[in-house]
A and B are shown apart, each in its own frame.
Chain A
Amino acid sequence: MLRAPSVLSRTNLSTDVVLDGLSKRYDALEALAPLSLRVEQGETVALLGPSGSGKTTLLLLLSGQMEPDTGRIVLSGRDMARMRSGRERARLVGMVHQQFDLVPQLSALHNVLAGRLAEWSLWASMVSLVWPRDHDMAVAALARMGVADRADVRAGRLSGGEQQRVAIARLLVQDPAVILADEPVASLDPARAGEVLALLVSVARQSNKTLVASMHSVELAREHFARLIGLRNGEVQFDLPNPQVTESMLHALYDLRGLRGES
């Protein structure tokens, strides 16, 4: 079968994610009980669960922004804790945030090109602010997200949906093997949310990248993801292919009774 050609795919290395006894506490609170699981290359995984269930903690650990108390993360055979350079990590994992986290004063183009910073020398990075480097690559990424015409607009002037498209374009240019997304469409209105999520998932599928996203909306998760993992009080409640997840499982997942932080 022919895969759609990706402008941006760098490697054909198999990239699977292995979590081995991963745990994290914040003082007395066990944010994540020891967790072991494996995600194969190209899988699309949605993390579900009420707030405080450990979804965000898991993503922060996976992105290397936080260190686990126990256990380890192995990304395509490489132990995450041993990765010293940001560049090495950026090639393996990239993240989309709920709040988009663009630099409002820079144009959409420069925000996208920021995804290339790990690959450029400091000097080249500085010069690029005046004479954009890899311009075509950034425009191609913006075009793929449907916002090529917004390239020269300052990010702060874009709508929420456009900002998230630009943030995903930045990720395309960064081209990590694993894409993480922390409630990527939770701050968009329902119509935009569906569109943007569909784009994110199709980008991951087309370039056979692994996608792990925490999802606020169960509906959207069911619609777009192949595998669902339910987290509750830091523990995995279910980890199943999408069609095998039943309504009663979801009800139990979000049941307020016995939920930490509720009384």
Chain B
Amino acid sequence: MKARLLESRRLLTLILVGAFLWSLLNVNWAEGLVHPGGLEALGQIALALFQPRLSPDILAAGAQASWTTVAYAVTGMTLALAIGLPLGVVASGVLTRVGWVRRLNVGSARFVLAFFRSIHELVWAWLFVAAVGLSPVAAVLALGIPYGGVLGRIYSELLQDVPEGPLRALRGAGASEWRVLWYGRLPMALPDMLSYTFYRFECGIRSAAILSFVGLGGLGYQIQISLADLNYGRMWTFVLFLILLVLLVGGWSGIVRRRLVV
């Protein structure tokens, strides 16, 4: 039994390594990775990094675009939390004890979460733009749904992996599983849940910028326009705004986490 498992593991490793090598063969190395004018453009872009355009009107546009991007990210994360928290609790199976009820609940919640997160936010964006047109609603849905799927999955694991002792003590005091969730699992999982949520919020800001390429406005849209104008200095200004946003969220999450550490 064990020997067979080991064998099938080796086989799997072999298949994966094989697939990797095969994929290397399929890259067209001969035609070159960089097209003829490419190197020159790369040089210009690199040079422009040291000359970002900082005129008041561009800074104002950057601030405006940052605000739009943050607004999308915050609204998208709110939706993601509304999806991920309840579905994560159900998918963790901590509230149900009976065999088939538990399997049904956990199974369907996990399926929904997997469905939500297996489709990339850009694909969701195309779908929603096709359905509701270029509206902020499309961007928020496109961000919130896959992020909700990821959050739910992580939450369900964190809620399962808390120390058993305090939970046992709560049950001993007559607490039902719902109360154990509120007084034991959630408080104990909260620091990790928060820190992961903040990490996802950072990702959300980058995604919100990308989503604006779809034509929804924001930093990505400004970057796209600058690139189209070959105005690399202007482009870098907006990229710097993006970096600033991500750093700010990182700093904020650090402060919140420090306060939560026991």
Contact = CB atoms under 8 A, between A and B. Distances in A.
Given A117-B173, A117-B183, 4 more contacts: A65-B168, A97-B168, A122-B176, A122-B179
Nearest to A113: B183
A125 B183 contact: yes
B176 A86 contact: yes
Contacts of B182: 125-126, 129
Contacts of A120: 179
Interface string A54-93: 0000000001010000000000000000000111111100
A101 to B, nearest CB: 4
Contact of A102 (B166, B172, B174): B166
B190 interface: yes
B115 interface: no
A73 to B, nearest CB: 15
A110 B183 contact: yes
Contact of A94 (B165, B173, B179, B260): B173
B183 A106 contact: yes
Interface residues of A, number: 36
A23 B262 CA distance: 41
Contact of A86 (B174, B187, B188, B262): B174
B170 interface: yes
A87 B169 contact: no
A262 B80 CA distance: 56
Interface in B151-183: 165-166, 168-176, 178-179, 182-183
Contacts of A110: 183
A146 interface: no
A206 interface: no
A218 interface: no
Main secondary structure of the interface of B (DSSP, over half): helix
A106 B187 contact: yes
A174 B174 contact: yes
Nearest to B162: A103
Contact of B169 (A101, A119, A125): A101
Interface string B67-106: 0000000000000000000000000000000000000000
A114 interface: yes
B144 interface: no
A119 B188 CA distance: 23
A65 B173 CA distance: 11
Contacts of A102: 166, 169
A90 B173 CA distance: 5
A51 interface: no
A247 to B, nearest CB: 36
A183 to B, nearest CB: 13
A25 interface: no
Interface in A95-142: 95, 97, 99, 101-106, 110, 114-115, 117-120, 122, 125-126, 129
A13 B190 CA distance: 42
Given A110-B183, A125-B179, A157-B262, A105 B172 contact: no
B179 A101 contact: no
A129 B166 CA distance: 17
A170 interface: yes
Contacts of B172: 63, 65, 90, 94-95
A103 B187 CA distance: 7
A101 B171 contact: no
Contacts of A122: 176, 178-179
Given A86-B176, A90-B173, A117-B173, A101 B166 contact: yes
Contact of B175 (A101, A114, A154): A114
Contacts of A190: none
7 smallest CB-CB distances across A and B, nearest first, come from: A90-B174, A118-B174, A156-B262, A101-B169, A117-B175, A105-B187, A101-B165
A97 B179 contact: no
B167 to A, nearest CB: 8
A103 B174 contact: no
B107 interface: no
A47 to B, nearest CB: 18
